[in-house]
A and B are shown apart, each in its own frame.
Chain A
Amino acid sequence: MSVALEPTTAHGNRPGVPGAPEPGKPTHSARGTAAGKAAAALRRTPIGVWIAAALLAFLVLAAVVPSLLLRQDPYIIDPAAAFTAPSAEHWFGTDQNGRDVFSRVVAGTGQSLLLGLAATAIGLVLGGLLGITAGVSGKWLDSAICRFVEILFAFPGLLLALIVIAVSGTGVVTAAIAVGVGTAPGYARMLRTQTLQVIDAPYVETALSLGRSRAHILWHTIVPNVIRPLFVLATLGVGQAIVWASSLSFLGLGAQPPAAEWGAMLADGRNYLQVAWWIAAFPGIFITLAALTTTLVGRHLQQRLEAEV
Chain B
Amino acid sequence: MKHRKAPWAPTAGAAVVLLALTGCGGAASAQPQDDTFVFATGKDISCLDPHVNGDMPQASIAANYLDSLVSQDAEGKIHPWLAESWEVSEDGLTYTFKVRDDVYFTDGTKFTAEAVKANLDHMVDPDTQSGTAGGYLKPYESTEVVDETTAVVTLNRPYAAFLEVLAQPFLGIESPTALKRPQAENCNSPVGTGPYKIVDYIPQSKVTLVRNEDYNSAPPFAQHQGPAHIKNLEWQIVPEDSTRYGLLRAGQVDALDLMPSVHFAEAEADKNVELVLQDRPGNPTNLMLNTTRAPFDDIRVRKAFLHSVYVEAGINSVYFGTVTQAGGPLASTTGFYSPDFEDVYQPDPAKAAQLLDEAGWTVRDEEGYRTKDGKRLTVVLPYTPAAWPTAHAALITQLQASAKQAGFDLRIENQDFASSSEKYNNFAYDLRAGYWNTNTADVLRIVFSTEYMKSAGFVPNGSGFSNPEFDRIVNDALATDDPAVREKLYYRAQQIVSENALQLPLYNQASQLAVRKDRFANLTLEPSLSLPYIYDVTAVENR
- A: which residues have CB within 8 A of B? 75-77, 79-80, 82, 96-98, 169-170, 252-253, 256-258, 267-268, 270-275
| List of B residues within 8 angstroms of A268 by Cβ | 393-394
> For the complex, is B158 an interface residue (Cβ under 8 Å from A)?
no
Alpha-carbon separation in the docked complex, A272 to B391 (Å): 10
- A274 x B414 contact (CB < 8 A): no
Interface string of B228-250 (1 = CB under 8 A from A): 00000000000011100010000
Contact flag A273-B242 (CB < 8 Å), given A253-B414, A257-B414: yes
- A275 x B262 contact (CB < 8 A): yes
Which of the listed residues A75, A80, A96 has the most CB atoms from chain B within 10 Å of its own CB? A96
11 A-B contacts, Cβ less than 8 Å apart? A76-B401, A77-B397, A79-B310, A80-B313, A170-B414, A252-B385, A252-B414, A257-B397, A258-B400, A271-B390, A272-B262
Instruction: Pick from A79, A258, A271, A274: contact of B314, CB below 8 A.
Output: A79
Known: A77-B398, A256-B413. 15 other contacts (CB 8 A): A75-B401, A76-B401, A77-B402, A79-B316, A79-B317, A79-B318, A80-B313, A82-B317, A170-B413, A257-B397, A258-B397, A271-B241, A271-B390, A273-B242, A274-B242
Instruction: For residue A261, give the distance in angstroms from its CB to the closest CB of chain B.
Output: 12
Alpha-carbon separation in the docked complex, A96 to B398 (Å): 10
Nearest CB in chain B to that of A249: its residue: B414
| List of B residues within 8 angstroms of A77 by Cβ | 397-398, 401-402
Contact flag A97-B401 (CB < 8 Å), given A271-B240, A271-B241: yes
Instruction: Pick from B266, B397, B412, B414: contact of A97, CB below 8 A.
Output: B397
Instruction: For residue A180, give the distance in angstroms from its CB to the closest CB of chain B.
Output: 21
> For the complex, is B223 an interface residue (Cβ under 8 Å from A)?
no
Closest 5 CB pairs of A and B: A79-B317, A252-B414, A77-B401, A271-B390, A79-B313
Instruction: For residue B417, give the distance in angstroms from its CB to the closest CB of chain A.
Output: 12
> For the complex, is B263 an interface residue (Cβ under 8 Å from A)?
yes
Instruction: For residue A161, give the distance in angstroms from its CB to the closest CB of chain B.
Output: 15
Instruction: For residue B319, give the distance in angstroms from its CB to the closest CB of chain A.
Output: 10
Instruction: Pick from B316, B394, B411, B412: contact of A96, CB below 8 A.
Output: B394
> For the complex, is B415 an interface residue (Cβ under 8 Å from A)?
yes
| List of B residues within 8 angstroms of A270 by Cβ | 240, 242
B 385-407 contacts with A by CB, 8 A: 385, 390-391, 393-394, 396-398, 400-402
Instruction: For residue B382, give the distance in angstroms from its CB to the closest CB of chain A.
Output: 10
Instruction: Pick from B317, B390, B412: contact of A257, CB below 8 A.
Output: B412
Alpha-carbon separation in the docked complex, A252 to B385 (Å): 8
- B: which residues have CB within 8 A of A? 240-242, 246, 260, 262-263, 266, 310, 313-314, 316-318, 385, 390-391, 393-394, 396-398, 400-402, 411-415
| List of B residues within 8 angstroms of A267 by Cβ | 385
Nearest CB in chain A to that of B412: its residue: A257
Alpha-carbon separation in the docked complex, A115 to B385 (Å): 23
Nearest CB in chain B to that of A251: its residue: B414
Instruction: For residue A118, give the distance in angstroms from its CB to the closest CB of chain B.
Output: 20
| List of A residues within 8 angstroms of B266 by Cβ | 275
Instruction: For residue B320, give the distance in angstroms from its CB to the closest CB of chain A.
Output: 9
Nearest CB in chain A to that of B413: its residue: A256
Instruction: For residue B260, give the distance in angstroms from its CB to the closest CB of chain A.
Output: 7
Nearest CB in chain A to that of B396: its residue: A257
Instruction: For residue B261, give the distance in angstroms from its CB to the closest CB of chain A.
Output: 10
Instruction: For residue A145, give the distance in angstroms from its CB to the closest CB of chain B.
Output: 33
Instruction: For residue B347, give the distance in angstroms from its CB to the closest CB of chain A.
Output: 12
| List of B residues within 8 angstroms of A252 by Cβ | 385, 414-415
Nearest CB in chain B to that of A75: its residue: B401
Alpha-carbon separation in the docked complex, A96 to B313 (Å): 12
- A96 x B318 contact (CB < 8 A): yes
| List of B residues within 8 angstroms of A75 by Cβ | 401
Nearest CB in chain B to that of A258: its residue: B397
- B398 x A79 contact (CB < 8 A): yes
Contact flag A97-B394 (CB < 8 Å), given A253-B414, A257-B400, A274-B242: yes
Nearest CB in chain A to that of B242: its residue: A271
| List of A residues within 8 angstroms of B262 by Cβ | 271-272, 275
- A256 x B398 contact (CB < 8 A): no
- A96 x B260 contact (CB < 8 A): no
| List of B residues within 8 angstroms of A272 by Cβ | 242, 262, 390
Instruction: Pick from B260, B314, B411: contact of A256, CB below 8 A.
Output: B411
Instruction: Pick from A98, A170, A256, A275: contact of B263, CB below 8 A.
Output: A275
Alpha-carbon separation in the docked complex, A248 to B192 (Å): 42
Contact flag A97-B317 (CB < 8 Å), given A75-B401, A268-B393: yes
- B263 x A274 contact (CB < 8 A): yes
| List of A residues within 8 angstroms of B401 by Cβ | 75-77, 97, 258
Nearest CB in chain A to that of B314: its residue: A79
Instruction: For residue B348, give the distance in angstroms from its CB to the closest CB of chain A.
Output: 18
Contact flag A82-B393 (CB < 8 Å), given A253-B414, A271-B241: no
Instruction: For residue B445, give the distance in angstroms from its CB to the closest CB of chain A.
Output: 34
Alpha-carbon separation in the docked complex, A170 to B391 (Å): 22
Instruction: For residue B84, give the distance in angstroms from its CB to the closest CB of chain A.
Output: 48
Instruction: For residue B287, give the distance in angstroms from its CB to the closest CB of chain A.
Output: 14
| List of B residues within 8 angstroms of A169 by Cβ | 415
Alpha-carbon separation in the docked complex, A253 to B385 (Å): 11
Contact flag A170-B415 (CB < 8 Å), given A252-B385, A271-B390, A275-B263: yes
Which of the listed residues B260, B262, B391, B401 has the most CB atoms from chain A within 10 Å of its own CB? B401
| List of B residues within 8 angstroms of A275 by Cβ | 262-263, 266
Instruction: For residue B166, give the distance in angstroms from its CB to the closest CB of chain A.
Output: 38
- A80 x B317 contact (CB < 8 A): yes
Alpha-carbon separation in the docked complex, A47 to B310 (Å): 52
Nearest CB in chain B to that of A276: its residue: B262
Alpha-carbon separation in the docked complex, A258 to B412 (Å): 8
Nearest CB in chain A to that of B414: its residue: A252
| List of B residues within 8 angstroms of A271 by Cβ | 240-242, 260, 262, 390
Instruction: For residue B433, give the distance in angstroms from its CB to the closest CB of chain A.
Output: 13
Instruction: For residue A50, give the distance in angstroms from its CB to the closest CB of chain B.
Output: 33
- A96 x B317 contact (CB < 8 A): yes
Nearest CB in chain B to that of A272: its residue: B262
Alpha-carbon separation in the docked complex, A79 to B315 (Å): 9
Nearest CB in chain A to that of B401: its residue: A77
Which of the listed residues A252, A256, A268 has the most CB atoms from chain B within 10 Å of its own CB? A252
Alpha-carbon separation in the docked complex, A258 to B395 (Å): 12
Alpha-carbon separation in the docked complex, A169 to B412 (Å): 14
| List of A residues within 8 angstroms of B402 by Cβ | 77
Nearest CB in chain A to that of B405: its residue: A77
Nearest CB in chain A to that of B265: its residue: A275
| List of B residues within 8 angstroms of A79 by Cβ | 310, 313-314, 316-318, 398
Instruction: For residue A160, give the distance in angstroms from its CB to the closest CB of chain B.
Output: 18
| List of B residues within 8 angstroms of A253 by Cβ | 414
Alpha-carbon separation in the docked complex, A49 to B242 (Å): 38
Which of the listed residues A76, A79, A170 has the most CB atoms from chain B within 10 Å of its own CB? A79
- A97 x B318 contact (CB < 8 A): yes
| List of A residues within 8 angstroms of B394 by Cβ | 96-97, 268
Alpha-carbon separation in the docked complex, A272 to B260 (Å): 10
Instruction: For residue A263, give the distance in angstroms from its CB to the closest CB of chain B.
Output: 12
| List of A residues within 8 angstroms of B412 by Cβ | 256-258
